[in-house]
Copies of this chain bind each other. A is one copy, B any other.
Amino acid sequence: MKDLLFIEPDGSNREEVRRLGYRFVDLLVESASRAAERMPLNRDPGLIGEHYAPSEEGRDVDLLLDEIRGFLDRGMNPAHPGYMGHMDTLASAIGIFSDAIVSSLNNNMLAWEMSPVFSELEQRVMRWTCGLFGLGATPEDPDDSERRPVGHLVSGGTLANVTAMWVARNARGGSTMDEHGLFGQPPYVFFASENAHFSFRKAANLLGLGREGWVEIPAEDDGRVRVDAMAAAIRSARAAGKIPCAVVGVAGTTVTGSVDPLEEIAELAARERLWFHVDAAYGGAIAFSDRLRPRLAGIEHADSVTFNPQKWLFVPKTCASILFRDRHQPELHLREAFVYGMSNRTTQGRTRVNLGEWTLQGTRRVDVLKLYLTLEHFGRARLARMIERQIDLAQNFAGAIAACPELELLHHPELNIVCFRYRGVRTGANRIADNERLDFINTKIQERIEASGLGWLSLPHYRRRTILRAVILHPRCTEALLDRILDEVRSAGRELAGTL
């Protein structure tokens, strides 16, 4: 098929493009249905030469489909039930197929008149999500007031955290910030755990605050930030003439999935009159479960929340959100940057929001459709049960690790992430004390698991040690598979400890 450039809007190639679509579906389904047979990670991308130039007159679709088939067998394979390296998941079937619909419509979330249905849908879904976290639900701040909560989707969690810190900085700086930026201002600082996502360091640089703009607060061994240290850091920043502008609580740290003490941080923020942001990019999903939601207590006081359905809600990338408890915050503090005068004729007696006026991105793909369809097809309660089950699996896995003398469980999992380490047998000649040697053994264990095809663990460097990390996020991961992986870890560890 040489010339299938477009789906002709007059229907003249309807059957040809339908066949093309079916072929793509066949390719996709054949590959995804064999995901368990492939390695969780194939490190050989192959196929692509060092230099690239497109063809001059176009290449046949058949050749290109063959080439895609080659791509499908390489790369990261988070559809493998043993893939547990990072926070990547098997994507919902309905979300996958709907992304082709989104590309066909090619609407734009920049302005209402470029995405009327989806601008409305996104606001509805985001308002419900705000409610899930208790934002704006207090009697003094009723949902129907002018100050009701608002949120929007962004292309990845970094943009959500950056947006939150941006609004916090501008809320603190007021009209001076709009006009002169940071010129002539004392240093602005915000405070977050040493375990907070690296996007906060990125935000500090981007926003013009420099490395000193992000004060890293030490955490306990369990991964939770020390609120007393945070309070002390705020006091010394003020004493040094700096301007604290925000505190961050993390609900689901990157490495261990720890949840900071959000209520204490909320109290601190209120006392110090600081913006309170919660990065619940990962852990926010537990708000779907009535049983688990109390673990997020305090999040309802947040001024802003990051939450990524692209992680634990099984929505294909990208689908991340930034939520505000008070719509006036993004409206007031980003207005200078954002309002750009789209035609007002689109109002037609109703408030038609141009979402581009609140967003860093401006032009945005319609990410809300795959989120909406996934929510609707799965249902809230069914999602909650899946999330609960994964947390139970993680608890059991952690229990099994704790019961092995040669393994060290590094934290009691609050979510579905388990970090551990081979530490060797504790008695006799084989005792391993040297940290560097243990780092090396754990590195080799990770390679062995990867090579076995059984699963894939990541190997973060955490608190000065190289550790093994399992993110139990695949809906088809089972206790039996986790047992097999644990057996493999132990036998590899024993063997390596004996020979090294």
What is the bound-complex CA distance between A162 and B28, given in angstroms? 35
Q: CB of A55 within 8 A of chain B?
A: yes
Residues of B within 8 A of A337 (CB): 201-202, 204-206
Residues of B within 8 A of A51 (CB): 124, 127-128
Q: CB of A207 within 8 A of chain B?
A: yes
Selected contact of A443 from candidates B20, B115, B345, CB within 8 Å = B345
- The answer to whether B202 and A360 have CB atoms under 8 Å apart is yes
Q: CB of A237 within 8 A of chain B?
A: no
Among residues of B, the one whose C-beta sits closest to the C-beta of A361 is B156
Residues of B within 8 A of A380 (CB): 53-56
Residues of B within 8 A of A232 (CB): none
Selected contact of A179 from candidates B36, B212, B314, B460, CB within 8 Å = B212
- The answer to whether B24 and A9 have CB atoms under 8 Å apart is no
Selected contact of A6 from candidates B85, B93, B369, B382, CB within 8 Å = B93
What is the bound-complex CA distance between A283 and B11, given in angstroms? 30
**Distance (Å) between the CB of A181 and the closest chain B CB?**
3
Q: CB of A4 within 8 A of chain B?
A: yes
Q: CB of A370 within 8 A of chain B?
A: yes
Q: CB of A294 within 8 A of chain B?
A: no
- The answer to whether B86 and A114 have CB atoms under 8 Å apart is yes
Selected contact of A97 from candidates B100, B119, B159, B204, CB within 8 Å = B100
CB contact under 8 A between A33 and B8, given known A25-B21, A96-B104: yes
Q: CB of A336 within 8 A of chain B?
A: yes
Residues of B within 8 A of A362 (CB): 156-158, 198-199, 202
A83-108 near B? 1/0 per residue, CB < 8 Å: 00110111111111111111111111
Among residues of B, the one whose C-beta sits closest to the C-beta of A55 is B379
- The answer to whether A317 and B103 have CB atoms under 8 Å apart is yes
Residues of B within 8 A of A316 (CB): 102-104, 106
Selected contact of A94 from candidates B8, B18, B64, CB within 8 Å = B64
Q: CB of A209 within 8 A of chain B?
A: yes
What is the bound-complex CA distance between A186 and B41, given in angstroms? 49
**Distance (Å) between the CB of A136 and the closest chain B CB?**
13
**Distance (Å) between the CB of A104 and the closest chain B CB?**
5
Residues of B within 8 A of A226 (CB): none
Q: CB of A75 within 8 A of chain B?
A: yes
CB contact under 8 A between A158 and B361, given known A29-B14, A33-B11: yes
Selected contact of A47 from candidates B96, B117, B202, CB within 8 Å = B117
Closest 6 CB pairs of A and B: A208-B208, A181-B210, A21-B25, A58-B379, A103-B316, A155-B155
Other A-B contacts than A88-B107, A205-B337, A310-B363, 5 sampled, CB-CB below 8 A, are: A4-B93, A13-B33, A24-B25, A89-B106, A179-B212
A–B Cβ pairs within 8 angstroms, 21 of them: A5-B475, A46-B117, A52-B127, A53-B128, A56-B380, A56-B381, A58-B378, A58-B382, A59-B376, A64-B376, A75-B118, A79-B104, A91-B103, A99-B99, A106-B317, A178-B211, A180-B187, A182-B183, A202-B338, A205-B336, A318-B364
